[in-house]
Amino acid sequence: MRSRLLAAQWIALTLILGLAGCQTQTPGSPSLAPFDARLELVPGGGARHFVVINTSGQELHNYSFSAYMWNDKNAMLFHNDTHRFIASGATLQPGQALRFHGFARTAEELISEPVSRVEIVGHCTEGSFRQVWQYTDSDQLEPMTAKHL
């Protein structure tokens, strides 16, 4: 219970700090698609790591986002995300990768359950963004277009 309270406080603090330093364009109308997302296999195992890369071609300033993983094939988890990640910072260089760790841990977060979809929602000085990827049969995350959302 205490760890959940600490995690909730950390999330709230991160969101407040991210919102205070970031200006968005028109709310609700994402104007930017700055990231590529992928799940990298862990050597010698079936688990994966979640990696997000700035592919916008520009430096992102005062970025803040949440990333959600879903397993739409499991009826018990259909409306619940299986993993949730948050990130924020002053700048993110073009081509720079973000790797995610558990709260107060140095090791990357392991994803061992199936993933069917990944969604990133956030904003930065350059604009707001919402991106969705679907996990394909060839074990790749493929961007979903607006007509599929």
Which tens digit of pLDDT belongs to each residue from 32-50? 899 999 999 988 878 899 9
User: What is the domain range of residue 90?
Assistant: 2-148
The phi and psi torsions of 35 (rounded to 5 degrees) equal: -120, 155
Task: Tell whether the torsion through CA atoms of 104, 110, 113 and 119 is positive or negative.
Answer: positive
Strands 141-143 and 127-135: antiparallel
Residue corresponding to tokens 């299986």: 82
What pLDDT is stored for residue 79 in this prediction?
Answer: 61
Residue corresponding to tokens 């700090």: 17
Question: CA-to-CA distance for 128 and 63, rounded, in angstroms?
Answer: 9
What pLDDT is stored for residue 121 in this prediction?
Answer: 96
The CB-side HSE value for 17 (13 A sphere, CA atoms) comes to 11
What pLDDT is stored for residue 19 in this prediction?
Answer: 41
- Using DSSP, state whether 111 is helix, strand or coil: strand
Q: Mean pLDDT by 10-residue block, N- to C-terminus, for the chain (149 residues)? A: 47 43 42 91 86 97 95 66 90 96 82 89 96 88 71
Tally of structural domains, the chain:
1
Q: What angle do CA 65, 121, 57 make, to 5 degrees?
A: 75
CB-neighbour burial class of residue 61 (10 A; exposed 0-12, middle 13-18, buried 19+):
middle
What pLDDT is stored for residue 107 in this prediction?
Answer: 85
Q: What is the mean pLDDT of the chain?
A: 79
> Model's pTM, two decimal places?
0.72
At 66-83, the pLDDT tens digits run 999 988 776 665 566 788
| Both tokens assigned to 26 | 């028109």
